[in-house]
Structures are given as C-alpha cells and as structure tokens.
Amino acid sequence: MPLELIAEAVANGLLAGAAYALVALGLTLVYGVLHIVNFAHGALLSVAMFAAWGLHAAFGLDPYTAILPLAVAFFGFGYALQRWVIGPASHGDDGNTLLVTLGLSIVIENALLALFRSDTRTLGGDAGFDVVEIGPMLLSRPRLIGFGVALVTAALLWALLALTDTGRAIRAVAKEKLGAQLCGIDPRHVYAVTFGLGCACLAVAACLLLPTFYVNPRVGNAFVLVAFTIVVLGGMGSIPGALVGGLFVGLVESLGGLLLGESLGQLGIFLIFILVLLLRPTGLFGARA
C-alpha cells in the first residue's frame, strides 16, 4: 500500500477524531463531577446541530462564526437545565438523575421530530468538500479547522479547570462535596456550571460537524455511542483521556476503514475497547479506585 495513502488516512483519522473528542469531553466532564452518565448528551448534540443549521438557514450565519455565540448560549441553556430541571427533579439521588436525563433525551428527540420531521438536512453548497494540499496529502479543510478549534477548546477547558477559582471549585466538588460546602462553595451552582460547560462543548462540536455532516433529530446518538467508548477508553472523568481517546478512536476508525473496507472501519474501535477493558479497566488515564 502506498505510504501517502496511509499518511492521509492517519491525518484524516486524527482530524475526524477531534470532533469525537469534543463530544466525549462534555460527557466525561459531567461524569467526572456529577458522577452520572448524561443520557441526554446525544439529544442535546442534535439540538445544537439544529441550532447551528437554523442560524445558517435563517440568517446565513456561517457555522464557524456561530461557534462563540452558540457556545455561550448553550452554556446558559445547560446551566439552567441542570440548576432548575435536572437537579431539583432528582432530589439528590444519582439514580434519579440518570432517569431524568434519559427522560429529557426522549422529550428533546420527539420535540425535534415534531418541529423538523425526520428529514435529513445539510448546509448545502460545496464548502464541505474544500480540500487543502499539504505535501502529498489532500486534507479536508472543514476537518482541519475542526481539529484546530477542538484543540483550542480542550486547552481552554483545561486552563479553566486548572487555573481559575471556578475550575478549582469544580474539581473540589467532584472529589469532596462536604469539604467544598464548608469552603462556601455551592455544589448546585458548580453542578450547573459543569453541565453548562458540557453543553458548550456540544455546541462547538455541532458547529464543527455541520459543514461535513447532516442533521436529523437522531443524529446525536451516533456520536454519543462512540463518545461513550472514548470516555471509558480514556478513563471516566479524565479530560486528557477524552482528548487522546477521541483522536485515537478517529485514527483507528480511519485506518480500519482503509485496511478492512469502509463498512468495517468501526470494528477496530470496539476491538480495542474490549482489549482496554480486559487489560486496563480504569482506562488509559483513569485513576485507580
């Protein structure tokens, strides 16, 4: 097999993995702090993609221009959702939280179905097919942009968690809720901020996916299934784990597609997933219990 072909598959896999990583980032953040698997993650991604699509259809707003306003809006949306819907409805019981997010995903999905029907939509135009020539490789321009934005987003998230008081409060509540309360930190606020950050990640991911992908009311689920795999692969709750895991899964999928044929590309993901579970159940970056 020609070397250029493999190099191109590697590059394309890494680029595709960046979008996975963003979706997984939101999921792992919420899991790490609230200790719940957010079943509404996929449905919220669908909402974000419809929002990005709607901004384009109604105002001609370019998805890349929409990243910042949509991320801010989704942060607020996520904050409100956790603070005034999910939090109060679960009465402090993790089992309830799980069911509430599952219920939310059903409500959201059906609301989208009622509003937009089950039609599949795209941005139209041919911007999604732009390529950039780098050496011998032809790389998709939207994916290249997506890769850069995903890395910047992950770096911003890391800086927020590591360097700001809000970030420290998030990490404090994740491990030691009572201790945090006695420092005057309000866990309800921290949970809502965390959920908001998770939603903001989804908004960024949606804007990056839209130029090369389609949108329909169930589109989020396809990504979230892979994102779950990434979260477990990287270590539940680990930010670097989600980033590295996402890139890795994109890489495996792309190489698998090249070597085994496009339809079997995802086979490799789950093979490696099972191997990780067997050999290192805490994930690549996960802390031992």
CB of 93 to another protein, least distance (A): 15
Q: Verify binding: residue 93, another protein, rule CB under 8 A.
A: no
* 217/110 Cα distance (integer angstroms): 8
* 131/204 Cα distance (integer angstroms): 21
* Residue 249 neighbours by CB under 8 Å, 6+ apart: 17, 20, 226, 229, 230, 233, 269
Residue 22 — left, alpha, or beta (φ > 0 → left; ψ -120 to 50 → alpha)?
alpha
Q: Verify binding: residue 199, another protein, rule CB under 8 A.
A: no
- Residue from 3, 114, 182, 289 that binds another protein (CB under 8 A)? 182
- Residue from 4, 94, 176, 262 that binds another protein (CB under 8 A)? 176
Q: Verify binding: residue 150, another protein, rule CB under 8 A.
A: no
Q: Verify binding: residue 289, another protein, rule CB under 8 A.
A: no
- Residue from 172, 204, 206, 227 that binds another protein (CB under 8 A)? 172
Report the residue number, 150 or 174, with the smaller CB distance to another protein.
174
Q: Verify binding: residue 175, another protein, rule CB under 8 A.
A: yes
Q: Verify binding: residue 185, another protein, rule CB under 8 A.
A: yes
Q: Verify binding: residue 179, another protein, rule CB under 8 A.
A: yes
CB of 186 to another protein, least distance (A): 5
Q: Residue count at the site for another protein (CB under 8 A)? A: 18
CB of 253 to another protein, least distance (A): 32
CB of 182 to another protein, least distance (A): 5
- Residue from 181, 222, 259, 264 that binds another protein (CB under 8 A)? 181
Q: Verify binding: residue 85, another protein, rule CB under 8 A.
A: no
Q: Verify binding: residue 67, another protein, rule CB under 8 A.
A: no
For CA atoms 202, 88, 174, 100, give the dihedral sign. Answer: negative
Amino acid at 46: S
CB of 66 to another protein, least distance (A): 34
Q: Verify binding: residue 165, another protein, rule CB under 8 A.
A: yes
Report the residue number, 35 or 175, with the smaller CB distance to another protein.
175
Q: Verify binding: residue 174, another protein, rule CB under 8 A.
A: yes
Report the residue number, 1 or 289, with the smaller CB distance to another protein.
289
- Residue from 158, 168, 221, 272 that binds another protein (CB under 8 A)? 168
Q: Give Cα 234 distance to the centre of its chain.
A: 13
Please report where in the chains the tokens 């221009």 appear, as a residue. 65
- Residue from 15, 44, 180, 192 that binds another protein (CB under 8 A)? 180
* 274/286 Cα distance (integer angstroms): 16
Q: State the virtual CA torsion across 65, 71, 72, 74 in degrees, nearest 10.
A: 130
Q: Choose among 40, 22, 91, 66: nearest CA to 221.
A: 40
The binding site for another protein (CB under 8 A) comprises 165, 168-169, 171-172, 174-176, 178-186, 287
